Amino acid sequence: MDNEIKQYFDVVIIGAGLSGIGAAYHIQKKCPRKTYTILEGRSDIGGTWDLFRYPGIRSDSDMYTLGFSFNPWEDAKAIADGPAILQYIKDTAQKFGIAPHIRFNHRVIAANWSDAEKMWTLHIEPQNRVICCRFLVSCTGYYNYEHGYEPTFAGSESFAGTIIHPQKWDDKLQYADKKVVIIGSGATAVTLVPEMAKKAAHVVMLQRSPTYIVNLPSKDKIANLFRQKLPSKVAYQLARWKNILLSMLFYQIARRAPNVFKRMVRKGIQKELGTDYDLRHFDPQYQPWDQRLCLVPDSDLFKALRQNKAEIVTDTIERFTPKGILLKSGRELEADIIVTATGLQLQMLGGLDMRVNNETRPARDIYCYRGTMFSDIPNFAIAIGYTNASWTLKCDLNCHYITRILNYMDKKGYQVCTPRFDSQRFKPEPLLNFNSGYVLRSIDEMPRQASAAPWKMHQNYLRDSLSLRYGTVDDAYLQYQ
């Protein structure tokens, strides 16, 4: 590169979302002598919580577990609005002195590890810059920031109204008194329906197949009681542990006794919508937690359905028409606005080109070690979170492990740490144990896990906590130099 500016850091973190800020905190606290920087491709902090701007954007897990382990979530609402989460991330970065370490508009397009130099070289756009580091931490999330999953629908060019994807929301879109059809049944659709129904003439949630939907109060009474009676940090840790354990319990019930779980969900729906409501719209064809559950805070979706401001239609799209959407059943849904809440496009490592000694390794040959590092990729760690609980719970544990590795290397005088997979002993498995569309669409482009520890992602906080906080950092699969 011409006129390139070269800089060196001990650790580079890519991404200034929840995981990147969390990683920075752990590194500066537990490895205080290490120099580090955060490279963020966008012009602001927050990742997901800065990107998504659709009406009603909110978390679908509680902030006691989605929030940082080290900075209490103080808001009374546990299921929080997007802007409040964004502010919390910004406040945390300021409070812990992380903000000055972030370099915005630094998109990492390529990363190459050199065995000779024992170092990563990162190429940055649009800056004509090269940054080198000893250890690389990817906190780039799991989806493509440029665009969501946007399937083509026959006849879409003939539709006379507006088509919009939630990832590219336009603040100027006026939907008051308009007829809206939202295509999708995931968290985004379930969030958008009640929010848009507040102003729209009518909202239809058009789903091909239903999702498990569970109602919860947005305010956690027990956590708020803890906050009134106890010091902030104690209250937060108690609420966090309560919710970790409760979510583990419900997950276990869902997996081990799916029929009990299905009955619980069905009862909840009937309580909200009455026994006459057509339960077909809430009866998924898959087992609980084969895909992520959808959470409805304070019955908002059910209220909109009860008040006839919104309707759920389970059907398949034949084609778009000038007036709306023609369904396979023959019904035509009229619309002024169609929202394609069709999901995310999965993407690992923020799309960067990763090489070792200038060679690319196919994703299918890479195995994830303790859900934290990659086989045969030296001095590299990644924030991959939970699919059955708050994503960030696992990212936080990964940081404990990374800092332990870094300190161990310093103590022993090592410069390189590389996980080595043993293909004779372990059977490959897909990285994510989900059959959601966005996972299945990209399964071949993702690294893999294997059938047993330490190459298996257990999706279990207690187990991971023991392994990553207290387990060995020097086993048969970690090669140090």
Ligand X SMILES: Cc1cc2nc3c(=O)[nH]c(=O)nc-3n(C[C@H](O)[C@H](O)[C@H](O)COP(=O)(O)OP(=O)(O)OC[C@H]3O[C@@H](n4cnc5c(N)ncnc54)[C@H](O)[C@@H]3O)c2cc1C
Size of the site for ligand X (CB under 6 A): 33
Stretch that binds ligand X, among 53-61, 321-329, 413-421, 458-466 (CB under 6 A): 53-61
Interaction of residue 19 with ligand X, rule CB under 6 A: yes
Number of alpha carbons in the 13 Å side-chain half-sphere of residue 71: 21
Q: Which is nearer to ligand X, 167 or 321 (CB)?
A: 167
Are 380 and 8 a contacting pair, CB within 8 Å?
A: no
Q: For 192-331, where are the E strands, in sequence order?
A: 202-207, 213-216, 294-297, 310-314, 317-320, 324-327
Stretch that binds ligand X, among 316-324, 348-356, 403-411, 440-448 (CB under 6 A): 348-356
Residues 400-459 that bind ligand X (CB under 6 A): none
CA distances from 306 to 90, 113, 172, 270, 455 (A): 38, 58, 29, 12, 47
Least separation in angstroms between residue 354's CB and ligand X is 10
Out of 11, 31, 41, 239, name the contact with ligand X by CB under 6 A.
41
Q: What tokens does 132 get?
A: 């080198």
Least separation in angstroms between residue 89's CB and ligand X is 9
Residues 131-190 that bind ligand X (CB under 6 A): 139-141, 145, 188
- For 456, other C-beta atoms within 10 Å of its C-beta total 17
Out of 194, 324, 350, 378, name the contact with ligand X by CB under 6 A.
350
Q: Which is nearer to ligand X, 109 or 327 (CB)?
A: 109
The alpha carbon torsion through 442, 448, 453, 454 (nearest 10 deg) reads -110
Task: Give me the residue whose beta carbon is nearest to ligand X.
Answer: 350
Interaction of residue 17 with ligand X, rule CB under 6 A: yes
Residues 58-77 that bind ligand X (CB under 6 A): 59-61, 66
Interaction of residue 352 with ligand X, rule CB under 6 A: yes
Selection from 85, 74, 81, 60 nearest residue 389 by Cα: 60
Stretch that binds ligand X, among 5-13, 38-46, 354-362, 426-434 (CB under 6 A): 38-46
Torsion sign (Cα): 259, 264, 267, 272: negative
Are 151 and 306 a contacting pair, CB within 8 Å?
A: no
Q: Which residues of 336-352 are buried (b: 16+ CB within 10 A; e: fewer)?
A: bbbbbbbbbbbbbbbeb
Q: Which is nearer to ligand X, 188 or 218 (CB)?
A: 188
Q: What tokens does 44 get?
A: 């602001």
What's the one-letter identity of residue 98? I
Stretch that binds ligand X, among 264-272, 298-306, 367-375, 383-391 (CB under 6 A): 383-391
Stretch that binds ligand X, among 304-312, 344-352, 410-418, 451-459 (CB under 6 A): 344-352
Chain contacts with ligand X (rule: CB under 6 A): 14-20, 39-42, 47-48, 52, 59-61, 66, 107-108, 139-141, 145, 188, 350-352, 383, 390-392, 395
